[in-house]
Amino acid sequence: MKRFLLVLATLLAAALSLPAAAPAADPIDELLPVRGLAIQAPQRSQMNDFLKFVEGELVPAHFNLLILRVDWGYAYASHPELQDPDPLTREDVQRIVAVCRNRGIRLVPQINLLGHQSWAKQTHALLREYPQFDENPSVKTENYTDWPNPEGLYCKSYCPLHPDVHKVVFDVVDELCDAFETDAFHAGMDEVFYLGEKECPRCNGRDKAELFAGEVTLIRNHLAEKGRQLMIWGDRLLDGRTTGLGEWEASYNYTWRAIDLIPKDVFICDWHYERADLTGVYFATKGLPVASCGYRNPTVCEQQIRDMVRFRKQSSPETAARLQGYIHTIWSGFGPFLRRYNEVKNEKEPDEAHWNDAQALRTVIETFTNLAQ
Ligand SMILES: [Zn+2]
Protein backbone atom coordinates (compact mmCIF):
# COMPACT_ATOMS: atom_id res chain seq x y z
CA MET A 1 0.00 0.00 0.00
CA LYS A 2 2.77 2.37 0.92
CA ARG A 3 4.51 1.61 -2.33
CA PHE A 4 1.27 2.21 -4.23
CA LEU A 5 0.83 5.59 -2.53
CA LEU A 6 4.42 6.52 -3.29
CA VAL A 7 3.93 5.70 -6.98
CA LEU A 8 0.66 7.63 -6.98
CA ALA A 9 2.31 10.65 -5.36
CA THR A 10 5.14 10.51 -7.89
CA LEU A 11 2.70 10.36 -10.79
CA LEU A 12 0.65 13.21 -9.34
CA ALA A 13 3.73 15.35 -8.86
CA ALA A 14 4.80 14.72 -12.43
CA ALA A 15 1.30 15.48 -13.70
CA LEU A 16 1.21 18.77 -11.83
CA SER A 17 4.71 19.63 -13.05
CA LEU A 18 5.79 20.56 -9.54
CA PRO A 19 8.94 22.65 -9.52
CA ALA A 20 12.21 20.91 -8.80
CA ALA A 21 13.49 21.20 -5.24
CA ALA A 22 15.33 24.44 -4.57
CA PRO A 23 19.11 24.10 -4.80
CA ALA A 24 20.79 23.42 -1.46
CA ALA A 25 21.63 26.62 0.39
CA ASP A 26 25.25 27.67 0.76
CA PRO A 27 26.56 25.76 3.85
CA ILE A 28 27.71 29.04 5.41
CA ASP A 29 24.07 30.19 5.50
CA GLU A 30 23.45 27.64 8.25
CA LEU A 31 26.57 28.57 10.22
CA LEU A 32 26.28 32.35 9.90
CA PRO A 33 23.19 33.58 8.04
CA VAL A 34 24.03 37.31 8.07
CA ARG A 35 27.46 38.37 6.78
CA GLY A 36 27.61 42.12 6.46
CA LEU A 37 29.67 45.21 5.95
CA ALA A 38 28.64 48.65 7.24
CA ILE A 39 30.52 51.47 5.54
CA GLN A 40 30.07 55.06 4.43
CA ALA A 41 28.41 55.39 1.03
CA PRO A 42 30.94 56.23 -1.70
CA GLN A 43 31.27 59.71 -3.11
CA ARG A 44 30.15 60.09 -6.72
CA SER A 45 33.73 60.06 -7.98
CA GLN A 46 34.33 56.74 -6.18
CA MET A 47 31.35 54.87 -7.63
CA ASN A 48 33.34 52.70 -10.06
CA ASP A 49 35.92 51.75 -7.42
CA PHE A 50 33.13 51.02 -4.98
CA LEU A 51 31.23 48.69 -7.29
CA LYS A 52 34.47 46.95 -8.20
CA PHE A 53 35.19 46.49 -4.48
CA VAL A 54 31.75 44.95 -3.92
CA GLU A 55 32.07 42.59 -6.89
CA GLY A 56 35.74 41.74 -6.41
CA GLU A 57 36.07 41.52 -2.62
CA LEU A 58 32.68 41.15 -0.90
CA VAL A 59 30.90 38.82 -3.32
CA PRO A 60 33.62 36.11 -3.42
CA ALA A 61 33.81 36.24 0.39
CA HIS A 62 30.08 35.43 0.74
CA PHE A 63 28.92 38.81 2.08
CA ASN A 64 25.13 39.12 1.84
CA LEU A 65 24.44 42.45 3.58
CA LEU A 66 25.71 45.94 2.84
CA ILE A 67 24.75 48.81 5.16
CA LEU A 68 25.59 52.18 3.60
CA ARG A 69 25.81 55.34 5.69
CA VAL A 70 24.22 57.88 3.40
CA ASP A 71 22.98 60.48 5.89
CA TRP A 72 22.76 63.76 3.97
CA GLY A 73 24.82 62.59 0.99
CA TYR A 74 21.82 61.96 -1.26
CA ALA A 75 20.05 64.39 -3.60
CA TYR A 76 16.76 64.43 -1.70
CA ALA A 77 13.97 65.74 -3.91
CA SER A 78 11.63 65.95 -0.91
CA HIS A 79 14.08 68.15 1.04
CA PRO A 80 16.82 69.61 -1.19
CA GLU A 81 17.88 71.82 1.71
CA LEU A 82 19.13 68.74 3.57
CA GLN A 83 21.64 67.52 1.02
CA ASP A 84 25.39 67.90 1.40
CA PRO A 85 27.50 69.06 -1.58
CA ASP A 86 27.87 66.65 -4.53
CA PRO A 87 25.34 64.10 -3.24
CA LEU A 88 24.65 60.70 -4.76
CA THR A 89 21.89 60.82 -7.32
CA ARG A 90 19.08 58.36 -7.88
CA GLU A 91 21.00 57.01 -10.89
CA ASP A 92 24.10 56.38 -8.75
CA VAL A 93 22.00 54.52 -6.22
CA GLN A 94 20.36 52.47 -8.96
CA ARG A 95 23.80 51.24 -10.03
CA ILE A 96 24.50 50.05 -6.48
CA VAL A 97 21.04 48.47 -6.25
CA ALA A 98 21.58 46.56 -9.51
CA VAL A 99 24.93 45.08 -8.44
CA CYS A 100 23.67 44.08 -5.00
CA ARG A 101 20.49 42.54 -6.38
CA ASN A 102 22.42 40.50 -8.95
CA ARG A 103 24.79 39.28 -6.27
CA GLY A 104 22.25 38.43 -3.57
CA ILE A 105 23.34 41.22 -1.24
CA ARG A 106 20.69 42.86 0.96
CA LEU A 107 21.28 46.60 0.64
CA VAL A 108 20.33 48.81 3.61
CA PRO A 109 20.76 52.60 3.67
CA GLN A 110 21.45 54.47 6.91
CA ILE A 111 20.64 57.93 8.19
CA ASN A 112 21.63 58.70 11.77
CA LEU A 113 18.42 59.48 13.63
CA LEU A 114 18.00 60.95 17.13
CA GLY A 115 21.72 61.28 17.98
CA HIS A 116 24.79 62.06 15.87
CA GLN A 117 23.28 65.28 14.52
CA SER A 118 26.68 66.98 14.80
CA TRP A 119 30.36 66.09 14.88
CA ALA A 120 32.86 68.24 16.77
CA LYS A 121 32.22 71.80 15.56
CA GLN A 122 30.11 70.77 12.60
CA THR A 123 26.32 70.72 12.86
CA HIS A 124 24.84 68.32 10.33
CA ALA A 125 22.10 69.17 7.87
CA LEU A 126 18.97 68.46 9.93
CA LEU A 127 19.78 70.80 12.83
CA ARG A 128 21.54 73.26 10.52
CA GLU A 129 18.31 73.72 8.56
CA TYR A 130 15.87 73.10 11.41
CA PRO A 131 17.54 74.42 14.57
CA GLN A 132 14.16 74.31 16.30
CA PHE A 133 14.52 70.50 16.45
CA ASP A 134 17.64 70.75 18.67
CA GLU A 135 17.17 69.00 22.05
CA ASN A 136 19.40 71.51 23.85
CA PRO A 137 19.99 74.59 21.71
CA SER A 138 21.92 76.37 24.47
CA VAL A 139 24.87 74.07 23.71
CA LYS A 140 26.66 75.45 20.65
CA THR A 141 28.68 73.16 18.41
CA GLU A 142 30.92 76.06 17.39
CA ASN A 143 32.17 76.12 21.00
CA TYR A 144 33.05 72.41 20.93
CA THR A 145 36.27 71.45 22.65
CA ASP A 146 37.78 68.00 22.86
CA TRP A 147 36.08 65.39 25.00
CA PRO A 148 35.56 65.62 27.93
CA ASN A 149 34.11 69.11 27.95
CA PRO A 150 31.97 70.88 30.54
CA GLU A 151 28.77 70.69 28.48
CA GLY A 152 29.12 66.96 27.79
CA LEU A 153 28.96 67.72 24.08
CA TYR A 154 29.81 64.70 21.98
CA CYS A 155 27.08 64.85 19.32
CA LYS A 156 23.85 66.81 19.21
CA SER A 157 20.43 65.12 19.26
CA TYR A 158 17.10 66.12 17.85
CA CYS A 159 14.13 66.30 20.19
CA PRO A 160 12.09 63.11 19.73
CA LEU A 161 8.96 64.89 20.96
CA HIS A 162 9.14 67.92 18.68
CA PRO A 163 5.79 67.94 16.84
CA ASP A 164 7.33 68.62 13.41
CA VAL A 165 10.53 66.57 13.39
CA HIS A 166 9.13 63.27 12.11
CA LYS A 167 7.41 64.79 9.13
CA VAL A 168 10.81 65.94 7.84
CA VAL A 169 12.73 62.85 8.93
CA PHE A 170 10.24 60.37 7.50
CA ASP A 171 10.16 62.22 4.17
CA VAL A 172 13.88 61.61 3.67
CA VAL A 173 13.82 58.09 5.16
CA ASP A 174 11.02 57.08 2.77
CA GLU A 175 12.69 58.69 -0.21
CA LEU A 176 16.01 56.98 0.51
CA CYS A 177 14.35 53.58 1.10
CA ASP A 178 12.45 53.93 -2.19
CA ALA A 179 15.65 54.83 -4.05
CA PHE A 180 17.47 51.85 -2.53
CA GLU A 181 14.45 49.59 -3.21
CA THR A 182 15.09 48.17 0.23
CA ASP A 183 13.21 46.12 2.81
CA ALA A 184 15.23 47.54 5.72
CA PHE A 185 16.59 50.83 7.03
CA HIS A 186 19.38 51.49 9.56
CA ALA A 187 18.62 54.44 11.84
CA GLY A 188 21.93 54.50 13.74
CA MET A 189 20.65 55.68 17.17
CA ASP A 190 23.99 54.97 18.84
CA GLU A 191 25.82 57.06 21.41
CA VAL A 192 22.80 59.23 22.15
CA PHE A 193 24.13 61.29 25.05
CA TYR A 194 21.62 64.16 24.92
CA LEU A 195 18.13 62.86 25.65
CA GLY A 196 15.41 64.16 27.98
CA GLU A 197 17.44 67.31 28.64
CA LYS A 198 16.39 69.78 31.32
CA GLU A 199 16.16 72.67 28.89
CA CYS A 200 13.75 70.86 26.55
CA PRO A 201 10.19 71.89 27.43
CA ARG A 202 8.81 68.61 26.02
CA CYS A 203 11.33 66.05 27.33
CA ASN A 204 12.39 67.53 30.67
CA GLY A 205 11.67 65.08 33.49
CA ARG A 206 10.63 62.19 31.28
CA ASP A 207 12.02 58.68 31.64
CA LYS A 208 14.94 58.38 29.22
CA ALA A 209 14.36 54.69 28.54
CA GLU A 210 10.77 55.49 27.57
CA LEU A 211 11.90 58.40 25.39
CA PHE A 212 14.43 56.20 23.60
CA ALA A 213 12.01 53.28 23.22
CA GLY A 214 9.29 55.65 22.01
CA GLU A 215 11.51 56.93 19.21
CA VAL A 216 12.63 53.43 18.21
CA THR A 217 9.01 52.25 18.16
CA LEU A 218 7.79 55.24 16.16
CA ILE A 219 10.44 54.70 13.47
CA ARG A 220 9.88 50.94 13.48
CA ASN A 221 6.13 51.36 13.03
CA HIS A 222 6.58 53.85 10.22
CA LEU A 223 8.90 51.47 8.35
CA ALA A 224 6.60 48.50 9.01
CA GLU A 225 3.79 50.22 7.11
CA LYS A 226 5.81 49.54 3.96
CA GLY A 227 7.08 46.13 5.09
CA ARG A 228 10.51 47.44 6.05
CA GLN A 229 12.61 46.38 9.03
CA LEU A 230 14.40 48.76 11.40
CA MET A 231 18.06 48.19 12.27
CA ILE A 232 19.84 50.11 15.05
CA TRP A 233 23.15 49.94 16.93
CA GLY A 234 22.70 48.22 20.29
CA ASP A 235 24.69 50.37 22.73
CA ARG A 236 21.77 52.35 24.26
CA LEU A 237 20.16 49.05 25.29
CA LEU A 238 23.12 47.92 27.42
CA ASP A 239 23.81 49.08 30.99
CA GLY A 240 27.30 50.60 30.80
CA ARG A 241 28.03 50.72 34.53
CA THR A 242 26.93 47.20 35.40
CA THR A 243 28.63 45.61 32.40
CA GLY A 244 31.76 47.76 32.59
CA LEU A 245 31.37 48.52 28.90
CA GLY A 246 31.62 52.29 29.31
CA GLU A 247 29.49 55.17 28.11
CA TRP A 248 29.99 54.86 24.35
CA GLU A 249 29.70 51.12 23.95
CA ALA A 250 26.82 51.03 26.41
CA SER A 251 24.55 53.49 28.22
CA TYR A 252 25.27 55.59 31.29
CA ASN A 253 22.16 57.70 30.75
CA TYR A 254 19.48 55.26 31.86
CA THR A 255 18.22 54.20 28.45
CA TRP A 256 18.99 50.48 28.83
CA ARG A 257 15.56 49.48 30.13
CA ALA A 258 14.32 50.30 26.63
CA ILE A 259 15.43 46.78 25.68
CA ASP A 260 12.16 45.54 27.23
CA LEU A 261 10.04 48.29 25.66
CA ILE A 262 10.84 48.09 21.94
CA PRO A 263 9.22 45.80 19.35
CA LYS A 264 10.91 42.41 19.03
CA ASP A 265 11.60 42.67 15.30
CA VAL A 266 14.10 45.54 15.59
CA PHE A 267 17.44 44.22 14.34
CA ILE A 268 20.29 44.96 16.76
CA CYS A 269 23.82 45.64 15.51
CA ASP A 270 25.82 44.80 18.65
CA TRP A 271 29.16 46.58 18.29
CA HIS A 272 32.26 45.86 20.35
CA TYR A 273 35.65 46.87 19.09
CA GLU A 274 38.09 46.15 21.93
CA ARG A 275 36.89 42.73 23.15
CA ALA A 276 34.53 40.11 21.84
CA ASP A 277 31.94 40.89 24.54
CA LEU A 278 29.16 38.33 24.71
CA THR A 279 26.15 40.64 24.69
CA GLY A 280 24.77 39.08 21.50
CA VAL A 281 23.34 36.32 23.69
CA TYR A 282 21.68 38.93 25.91
CA PHE A 283 19.89 40.53 22.95
CA ALA A 284 18.86 37.15 21.52
CA THR A 285 17.44 35.92 24.83
CA LYS A 286 15.49 39.19 25.08
CA GLY A 287 13.84 38.17 21.82
CA LEU A 288 15.70 40.52 19.47
CA PRO A 289 17.47 39.52 16.23
CA VAL A 290 21.15 40.45 16.54
CA ALA A 291 24.48 40.45 14.71
CA SER A 292 27.87 41.04 16.34
CA CYS A 293 29.81 43.94 14.87
CA GLY A 294 33.58 44.37 14.85
CA TYR A 295 35.96 47.00 13.56
CA ARG A 296 39.74 47.26 13.63
CA ASN A 297 41.13 44.49 15.80
CA PRO A 298 41.50 41.41 13.56
CA THR A 299 41.74 38.99 16.50
CA VAL A 300 38.57 40.35 18.09
CA CYS A 301 36.68 40.27 14.78
CA GLU A 302 37.58 36.64 14.16
CA GLN A 303 36.58 35.76 17.74
CA GLN A 304 33.20 37.49 17.28
CA ILE A 305 32.51 35.42 14.17
CA ARG A 306 33.60 32.15 15.79
CA ASP A 307 31.53 32.96 18.90
CA MET A 308 28.44 33.63 16.82
CA VAL A 309 28.83 30.29 15.01
CA ARG A 310 29.31 28.53 18.36
CA PHE A 311 26.37 30.31 20.06
CA ARG A 312 24.10 29.22 17.23
CA LYS A 313 25.20 25.60 17.52
CA GLN A 314 24.68 25.37 21.27
CA SER A 315 21.42 27.34 21.51
CA SER A 316 17.82 26.25 21.22
CA PRO A 317 16.41 26.69 17.69
CA GLU A 318 14.39 29.69 18.90
CA THR A 319 17.46 31.52 20.23
CA ALA A 320 19.77 30.38 17.44
CA ALA A 321 17.38 31.92 14.92
CA ARG A 322 17.95 35.34 16.51
CA LEU A 323 21.75 35.01 16.61
CA GLN A 324 22.02 36.01 13.01
CA GLY A 325 25.61 36.74 12.15
CA TYR A 326 28.43 39.24 11.93
CA ILE A 327 28.63 42.74 10.44
CA HIS A 328 32.01 44.34 9.92
CA THR A 329 32.17 48.12 10.33
CA ILE A 330 34.44 50.70 8.68
CA TRP A 331 34.37 54.20 10.13
CA SER A 332 36.42 56.21 7.68
CA GLY A 333 35.42 57.41 4.24
CA PHE A 334 35.41 54.76 1.51
CA GLY A 335 38.32 56.35 -0.41
CA PRO A 336 40.91 56.36 2.41
CA PHE A 337 39.75 52.90 3.47
CA LEU A 338 40.17 51.46 -0.02
CA ARG A 339 43.69 52.84 -0.22
CA ARG A 340 44.62 51.11 3.07
CA TYR A 341 42.83 47.94 2.01
CA ASN A 342 44.75 47.70 -1.25
CA GLU A 343 48.02 48.31 0.59
CA VAL A 344 47.28 45.48 3.00
CA LYS A 345 46.15 43.21 0.17
CA ASN A 346 49.40 43.88 -1.66
CA GLU A 347 51.27 43.11 1.55
CA LYS A 348 52.41 46.64 2.16
CA GLU A 349 52.12 48.31 5.53
CA PRO A 350 49.14 50.70 5.39
CA ASP A 351 50.16 54.32 5.61
CA GLU A 352 48.21 54.81 8.83
CA ALA A 353 49.45 51.84 10.79
CA HIS A 354 47.33 52.63 13.85
CA TRP A 355 44.22 52.04 11.77
CA ASN A 356 43.95 48.31 11.34
CA ASP A 357 40.50 48.33 9.76
CA ALA A 358 41.88 47.11 6.44
CA GLN A 359 43.72 44.20 8.04
CA ALA A 360 40.61 43.38 10.06
CA LEU A 361 38.46 43.17 6.92
CA ARG A 362 41.04 40.87 5.33
CA THR A 363 40.75 38.63 8.40
CA VAL A 364 36.94 38.68 8.20
CA ILE A 365 37.09 37.74 4.51
CA GLU A 366 39.43 34.85 5.33
CA THR A 367 37.19 33.66 8.16
CA PHE A 368 34.02 33.78 6.04
CA THR A 369 35.85 31.96 3.24
CA ASN A 370 37.02 29.22 5.61
CA LEU A 371 33.51 28.79 7.02
CA ALA A 372 32.14 28.39 3.52
CA GLN A 373 34.46 25.49 2.67
ZN1 LIG B 1 12.92 67.16 23.71
In a domain, 343, yes or no: yes
pLDDT digits (tens, 9 = 90+) for 289-325: 999 999 999 999 999 999 999 999 999 999 999 999 9
Q: Which residues pair with 269 in a beta bridge?
A: 233, 291
Max intra-chain CA distance, the chain: 85
The Å distance, Cα 342 to ligand 1 centre, comes to 45
Alpha carbons 199 and 140: distance in angstroms, whole number: 14
pLDDT digits (tens, 9 = 90+) for 69-110: 999 999 999 999 999 999 999 999 999 999 999 999 999 999
Domain that holds residue 129: 30-372
In a domain, 19, yes or no: no
The Å distance, Cα 80 to ligand 1 centre, comes to 25
In a domain, 9, yes or no: no
Q: What's 60's domain CATH number?
A: 3.20.20.80
The Å distance, Cα 141 to ligand 1 centre, comes to 18
The Å distance, Cα 108 to ligand 1 centre, comes to 28
- In this predicted structure, the answer to whether residue 46 has a pLDDT above a threshold of 90 is yes
In a domain, 256, yes or no: yes
Beta-strand pair 118-119/122-123: antiparallel
In a domain, 25, yes or no: no
In a domain, 65, yes or no: yes
The Å distance, Cα 127 to ligand 1 centre, comes to 13
In a domain, 21, yes or no: no
The Å distance, Cα 113 to ligand 1 centre, comes to 14
CA-derived radius of gyration, the chain: 22
Q: Where are the beta strands (DSSP E) in the chain?
A: 34-40, 65-69, 106-113, 118-119, 122-123, 184-188, 229-233, 267-271, 290-294, 323-329
Average pLDDT, the chain: 93
The Å distance, Cα 198 to ligand 1 centre, comes to 9
- In this predicted structure, the answer to whether residue 173 has a pLDDT above a threshold of 70 is yes
In a domain, 177, yes or no: yes
The Å distance, Cα 200 to ligand 1 centre, comes to 5
The Å distance, Cα 205 to ligand 1 centre, comes to 10
User: Residue 348's pLDDT is what?
Assistant: 80
Total domains, the chain: 1
The Å distance, Cα 136 to ligand 1 centre, comes to 8
